[in-house]
Amino acid sequence: MTDAELNRIRQQGITLLGFNEADMAGQADMTVQRALDLWPRLQSTGLRLGAPAVATGRTSPAAGSTGSSRAPPPATTR
């Protein structure tokens, strides 16, 4: 996720849905740790944030999960 992408997102709407089905290769395809690391960058946009659930509801090395159950912090509203 680049600064240019985040700037473009800021200009295109007021709500940002982050990391769709992050546990699936055909979707966001990232580890829990990667999603946690990137979450502050999404918050920095100032947009209203939404975080969807995982697709399978289970952790799996094949899906790239670290097995952590720690979720991103809840989004704040304006």
Query: With bands split at pLDDT 50, 70 and 90, how would you rate the model's confidence at 72?
Result: low
Query: pTM for the complete prediction?
Result: 0.61
pLDDT digits (tens, 9 = 90+) for 18-64: 887 777 788 778 887 888 898 899 999 999 998 777 777 655 545 44
Cβ atoms 47, 16 nearer than 8 A = yes
Q: Give the integer Cα–Cα distance in Å for 37 and 33.
A: 6
3-state SS class at 55: coil
